[in-house]
């Protein structure tokens, strides 16, 4: 058999194994989507509830002097970057890192294996990120902020818009901004609003952090599922093209052989 067909056969085999791989990864990712989105919704609800409380508090007169609401220079940025645990998710990780590059001077805290590896930090996964991890980090970051170690805190995560669309964006946490209109409700704070605010901010950061990690994770598995789906389609198309070329080459070789035999018989 000519070298050409052998080469084609090898390529078909290699594309075929890629096809198996993408199919398997797509199945794994899509089996995780349901659980990941359920967790994301739970986290979102909690984050919304605690954000409402923060809005009430930061609208209070006596909270305006809180260290969490200080305004001033904003050049020392701290960024919590949440990326994936694995690659093969289309542009998911790349989009996050591209967004992070817009803040070259920022001090980065990475969550997600890919992010940890990129910024040379201790490995922290996103799939099983626990409330203990988040609470510990939140308390530390709040203390640092009160002590003036940095001026702004943002969480870079990937917003889950739909199965097909996810967008890397930054949610700014500190300084807290007062809502545009002061809340109308009359609430009694114990012991006072400033103290309650101080106690609530770590809770707020914990909630937002967990919600962001969960949302990023849901985005990651969705991105991987659709990336693997289209990779699988491409692989299938390539395999079809190669198979066609292979059959043509094989047929061509047979025709040529036959022609040679017929020609040989004619001579004899």
Partner 1 sequence: MAEYQLNIATPDGEFYSGPCEELIVRGTQGDLAVLAGHIPFMTALVPCAFRLWTPDGNERGGRLEGGLLTVGSRKDENQTVTVLTTHAEWQDGEKDGNE
190 contacts partner 1 (rule: CB under 8 A) = yes
Find, among 95, 99, 77, the residue nearest to 87 by Cα: 95
User: Considering beta carbons, is residue 110 or 137 the nearer one to partner 1?
Assistant: 137
Among 16, 46, 179, 243, binds partner 1 (CB under 8 A): 46
Among 11, 23, 189, 234, binds partner 1 (CB under 8 A): 189
Among 90, 175, 207, 232, binds partner 1 (CB under 8 A): 207
Question: In 10 A of CB 127, how many CB atoms?
Answer: 16
User: Considering beta carbons, is residue 201 or 242 the nearer one to partner 1?
Assistant: 201
191 contacts partner 1 (rule: CB under 8 A) = yes
User: Of 68-76, 79-87, 112-120, 181-189, which segment contacts partner 1 by CB under 8 A?
Assistant: 181-189
Q: What is the dihedral of CA 231, 237, 243, 245, to 10 degrees?
A: -120
User: Of 16-24, 98-106, 179-187, 232-240, which segment contacts partner 1 by CB under 8 A?
Assistant: 179-187
d(CA 244, CA 8): 10
d(CA 5, CA 249): 6
d(CA 23, CA 27): 6
Instruction: Tell me if 241 sits within 8 A of 16, measured CB to CB.
Output: no
Question: In 10 A of CB 193, how many CB atoms?
Answer: 21
42 contacts partner 1 (rule: CB under 8 A) = yes
Tell me whether residue 141 is exposed, middle or buried, using C-beta atoms within 10 angstroms of its C-beta: 0 to 12, 13 to 18, 19 or more: buried
Restricted to residues 114-153, the positions that interact with partner 1 (CB under 8 A) are 131, 134-135
d(CA 228, CA 33): 14
d(CA 212, CA 83): 11
Among 15, 19, 36, 50, binds partner 1 (CB under 8 A): 50
Q: How far is the CB of 204 from partner 1 (least distance, A)?
A: 9
43 contacts partner 1 (rule: CB under 8 A) = yes
47 contacts partner 1 (rule: CB under 8 A) = yes
User: Considering beta carbons, is residue 88 or 135 the nearer one to partner 1?
Assistant: 135
Instruction: Tell me if 216 sits within 8 A of 82, measured CB to CB.
Output: yes
Q: How far is the CB of 113 from partner 1 (least distance, A)?
A: 21
Q: Kindly list the residues in this chain that would bind partner 1 in the complex (CB under 8 A).
A: 39, 42-43, 45-47, 49-50, 53, 56, 131, 134-135, 185-191, 195-196, 199-200, 203, 206-207, 210-211, 214
């Amino acid at each position: 058999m000519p070298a050409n067909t052998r080469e084609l056969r090898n390529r078909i085999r290699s594309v075929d194994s890629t096809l198996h791989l993408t199919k398997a990864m797509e199945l794994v990712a899509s089996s995780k989507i349901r659980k990941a989105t359920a967790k994301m919704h739970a986290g979102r609800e909690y984050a919304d509830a605690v954000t409402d409380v923060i809005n009430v508090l930061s609208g209070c007169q006596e909270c305006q002097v809180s260290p969490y609401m200080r305004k001033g220079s904003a050049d020392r940025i701290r960024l919590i970057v949440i990326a994936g645990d694995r690659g093969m998710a289309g542009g998911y990780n790349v989009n996050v890192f591209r967004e992070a590059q817009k803040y070259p001077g920022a001090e980065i805290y990475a969550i997600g294996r890919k992010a940890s590896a990129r910024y040379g930090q201790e490995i922290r996964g996103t799939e099983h990120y626990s409330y203990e991890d988040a609470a510990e980090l939140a308390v530390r970051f709040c203390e640092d902020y009160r002590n003036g170690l940095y001026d702004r805190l943002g969480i870079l995560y990937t917003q889950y818009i739909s199965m097909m669309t996810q967008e890397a964006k930054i949610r700014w946490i500190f300084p807290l901004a007062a809502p545009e209109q002061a809340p109308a409700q009359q609430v009694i704070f114990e012991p006072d609003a400033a103290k309650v605010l101080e106690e609530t901010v770590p809770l707020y950061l914990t909630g937002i952090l967990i919600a962001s990690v969960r949302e990023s994770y849901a985005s990651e598995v969705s991105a991987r599922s659709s990336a693997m789906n289209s990779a699988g389609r491409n692989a299938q198309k390539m395999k079809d093209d190669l198979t066609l070329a292979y059959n043509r080459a094989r047929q061509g070789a047979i025709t040529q052989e036959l022609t040679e035999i017929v020609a040989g018989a004619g001579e004899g």
